[in-house]
A and B are shown apart, each in its own frame.
Chain A
Amino acid sequence: MSVGYRPVLWNANKLWYDGALGLFVGLYLILFLRYAPGLLESPAIGGAELRMRAFGSCAFLMLTLILCIGPLARLDTRFLPLLYNRRHFGVMTFFVATAHLWAVSGWYLAFSPLDPWVALLVSNTDISFLGFPFEWLGMAALAILFAMAATSHDFWLHFLSPPIWKRLHMLVYLCYGLVVMHVSLGLLQSETSPAYPVMVGLSLLVVSGLHMMAARAEAKRDREQAAPPVGGADGDWVKAVRIDALTPDHGHTVTLPNGERAAVFRYGETGERISALSNVCAHQNGPLGEGRMVFGCVTCPWHGFQYDPETGCSPPPFTEKVPTFRVRRDGDFVMIDTKALPAGTRTPPILLSEGGA
């Protein structure tokens, strides 16, 4: 969390993350270009072409891994640290993809009377399926990677607002699709080894398979956590969760009849207080219900943004706010009014020591 905009707020975890990322990219390129059977000036392929393929295939693998992180973290929270600094992963992918373009423009597009950028757009006008200028697809994918990398900083998240920023960054799926087509209409039409279609197919299978598994798991969770409406004169109340099902200092997600999710927390020194707030973190829409209480605050599992459970406000000097829900006790159950209160509205918790609010 930060109240100012610094280029990067380094911490030990980010340094480890970026170090591992750099090691991954470095090892991949070194293996590809130097120590793998195809040497830098391979007898089987030109050196410049080898560099194009090294950067291009590395960027494709990185994009595949990036798209796996989200569903993996949904399926197993131990993968959340990979999500924590995923933006650096994305920015690094953009740089590797740019190196691929650099290698292409310095060779295939070079030495021509035409400007390389003009050449890229006009030298192949065959738009049939097999002859399609697959380079255009790669350029479109790179443009998306650029837009995402350029707006990856929290300044842009605040400037654009989280919903717009999120939509912009969901373009990563379009980017992935463009890259798959770029490879399918390019390399797969040129090389004859079955290893390439198998690897592209595996990438598609893993990415789509993990997303489907995560979606199924989430749908199951929603069904299990669905709160039945009970109505009431003073609001649209639902029977949210049994009190004894709440683990102190752990979040619990409740799916409300309107499809919204609420995050319910039991907290306090003896776990005597219960509050509910929106499940959607104000930062990047992370699932607060999967978070924990840390230093007395609800803490988002994605990037550690924190909120007072009774007000939905981040502790000063931070200014983020999330909506809160009215809660009350009904016997062994926590009841929630499904009408969310405006972000940052203080609402009294259930006090178990008093038998309810």
Chain B
Amino acid sequence: MSRRPFFVGYLAMPRALAMFLAVVTGVLLGTGAVVATVTVQEQNDWGDGGFQWGEGRQTRTGIVMADPYPVLFLPPNADHPFGQTLPLSGAGKTGVQTSAREMQGAPVDVSGIILRRDDFEMIQVSGNNGLVAAADPAPLAGWSGPEIEALGRVTLKGELLDSKCFHGAMRPGEGKTHKLCANLCLIGGVPLTFMIRRPDGSVESLLMADQEGQEVTGPLLDHVSQFVELTGELERRGDLLVFKVDPETVRRL
């Protein structure tokens, strides 16, 4: 028969039991410390993309394209011999389709906060006056945006993402834990992109479109944040790759 001290909560703790519980408490605190450290240390490196708040509100002048998703084409320069394309979003999880359509193909000034991930940039357009006719369209004179170059039919493997979180609005901005957030961004109108990871770990981001060059968010929403294979026509527009797919070809890998 046990002669161990008997614990009654509302009475004083027997000394031997208090010693035992002190050891148990130490073990539990140690377990918590180990689990916390391992859990935080073993996380993937989700990159250093993000809002460039430190740069303040930036303005870029270029040609706006509304479909399939709003982007801003900047003319070629020494740093970007093919020009530069910046996807556009509104504040939070919203798009700027309406204002982009109003200015489709026109020279515009787009101002807002830059998001940058490695060499990729996009703009979170600020307020009602963030996308307006260019105050000085002279630098764009004679340029109406990049030519479209058909690259042929391809089958590619990658992950469907919202471009804003791809650029670092969220980190991780990819993978299963981000799926719900990505879907919300896409439902709100943020451009849909296809991220391809090369064997060396670097990534390429393609702007998605349906076969007619229109937005394709709805049919592909259930496949966001999944590793999938898609088949379609690839186009180059300056430094932008547009992947015009038949949503029916999507295949989970």
Residues of A within 8 A of B (CB): 1, 9, 11-14, 16, 20, 23-24, 27-29, 31-32, 36-38, 43-46, 48-50, 53-54, 57-58, 61, 65, 77-82, 84-85, 107-114, 119-120, 123-126, 128, 130-131, 133-135, 185-187, 189-193, 195-196, 199, 245, 247, 250, 291-292, 294, 299, 301, 303-304
- Closest CB in chain B relative to A343 CB, distance in Å: 22
| 17 further interface pairs, Cβ-Cβ under 8 Å (given A133-B179, A294-B6, A299-B6) | A11-B10, A13-B10, A24-B32, A45-B44, A45-B46, A49-B46, A57-B39, A107-B181, A109-B184, A119-B180, A123-B184, A124-B183, A126-B223, A128-B252, A134-B176, A190-B175, A196-B42
In the complex the two chains form, is A124's CB within 8 Å of B92's CB?
no
In the complex the two chains form, is B29's CB within 8 Å of A32's CB?
no
In the complex the two chains form, is A14's CB within 8 Å of B170's CB?
no
Most A CB contacts (10 A, CB to CB) among B1, B40, B41, B170 go to B40
Contacts of A45 in B (CB 8 A): 43-46, 171-172
In the complex the two chains form, is A12's CB within 8 Å of B12's CB?
yes
In the complex the two chains form, is A107's CB within 8 Å of B170's CB?
yes
| Bound-state Cα–Cα, A79 to B17, Å | 9
| Bound-state Cα–Cα, A8 to B12, Å | 18
In the complex the two chains form, is B93's CB within 8 Å of A111's CB?
yes
Given contacts A38-B43, A112-B93, A193-B42, contact A31 B36 (CB under 8 A): yes
In the complex the two chains form, is A13's CB within 8 Å of B13's CB?
yes
* 9 nearest A-B residue pairs (beta carbon): A111-B92, A190-B175, A193-B42, A189-B176, A46-B171, A126-B222, A247-B1, A108-B181, A112-B93
In the complex the two chains form, is A43's CB within 8 Å of B48's CB?
yes
| Bound-state Cα–Cα, A110 to B181, Å | 9
Count A-B contacts at CB 8 Å: 206
Most B CB contacts (10 A, CB to CB) among A12, A108, A109, A114 go to A108
Given contacts A14-B9, A31-B33, A32-B40, contact A131 B172 (CB under 8 A): no
Contacts of B94 in A (CB 8 A): 112-113
Considering only CB atoms and an 8 Å cut-off, how many residues of chain B contact the other chain?
Answer: 60
In chain B, positions 197-250 with a C-beta closer than 8 Å to chain A are: 221-223, 225-226
In the complex the two chains form, is A80's CB within 8 Å of B7's CB?
yes
| Bound-state Cα–Cα, A208 to B162, Å | 40
Contact of A294 among B8, B38, B178 (CB under 8 A): B8
Contacts of A126 in B (CB 8 A): 179, 221-223
**Chain-A contact segment, one of B19-27, B128-136, B150-158:** B19-27
What are 27 A-B pairs with beta-carbon distances under 8 A?
A20-B28, A27-B29, A28-B35, A36-B37, A37-B37, A45-B44, A45-B171, A46-B50, A46-B171, A78-B21, A80-B7, A85-B9, A107-B181, A108-B170, A112-B93, A112-B94, A113-B188, A114-B184, A123-B180, A123-B187, A125-B221, A128-B222, A193-B44, A199-B38, A294-B11, A301-B6, A304-B8
- Closest CB in chain A relative to B225 CB, distance in Å: 8
Contacts of B4 in A (CB 8 A): 77-78
- Closest CB in chain A relative to B115 CB, distance in Å: 13
The closest CB in chain A to the CB of B33 belongs to A31
Contact of A191 among B43, B181, B184, B223 (CB under 8 A): B43
Contacts of B44 in A (CB 8 A): 44-45, 190-193
Contacts of A190 in B (CB 8 A): 44, 172, 175-178
In the complex the two chains form, is A109's CB within 8 Å of B39's CB?
no
The closest CB in chain B to the CB of A195 belongs to B42
| Bound-state Cα–Cα, A24 to B31, Å | 10
In the complex the two chains form, is A189's CB within 8 Å of B175's CB?
yes
In the complex the two chains form, is B180's CB within 8 Å of A46's CB?
no
Contact of A131 among B8, B38, B43, B179 (CB under 8 A): B179
The closest CB in chain B to the CB of A24 belongs to B32
Given contacts A44-B46, A46-B46, A185-B176, contact A24 B29 (CB under 8 A): yes
Contact of A38 among B41, B170, B172 (CB under 8 A): B41
| Bound-state Cα–Cα, A44 to B172, Å | 9
In the complex the two chains form, is B36's CB within 8 Å of A304's CB?
no
Contacts of B180 in A (CB 8 A): 108-109, 119-120, 123-124, 133, 135
The closest CB in chain B to the CB of A16 belongs to B13
In the complex the two chains form, is B17's CB within 8 Å of A78's CB?
yes
- Closest CB in chain B relative to A136 CB, distance in Å: 10
Contact of B10 among A1, A58, A79, A123 (CB under 8 A): A1
Most A CB contacts (10 A, CB to CB) among B8, B28, B252 go to B8
In the complex the two chains form, is B37's CB within 8 Å of A186's CB?
no
Kindly state whether residue B91 has any CB partner on chain A within 8 Å: yes
In the complex the two chains form, is A49's CB within 8 Å of B172's CB?
yes
Kindly state whether residue B77 has any CB partner on chain A within 8 Å: no
The closest CB in chain B to the CB of A76 belongs to B4
Contact of B176 among A1, A80, A82, A186 (CB under 8 A): A186
| Bound-state Cα–Cα, A12 to B14, Å | 13
| Bound-state Cα–Cα, A61 to B28, Å | 10
In the complex the two chains form, is A31's CB within 8 Å of B12's CB?
no
Kindly state whether residue B98 has any CB partner on chain A within 8 Å: no
In the complex the two chains form, is B39's CB within 8 Å of A32's CB?
yes
In the complex the two chains form, is B32's CB within 8 Å of A37's CB?
no
In the complex the two chains form, is B8's CB within 8 Å of A299's CB?
yes
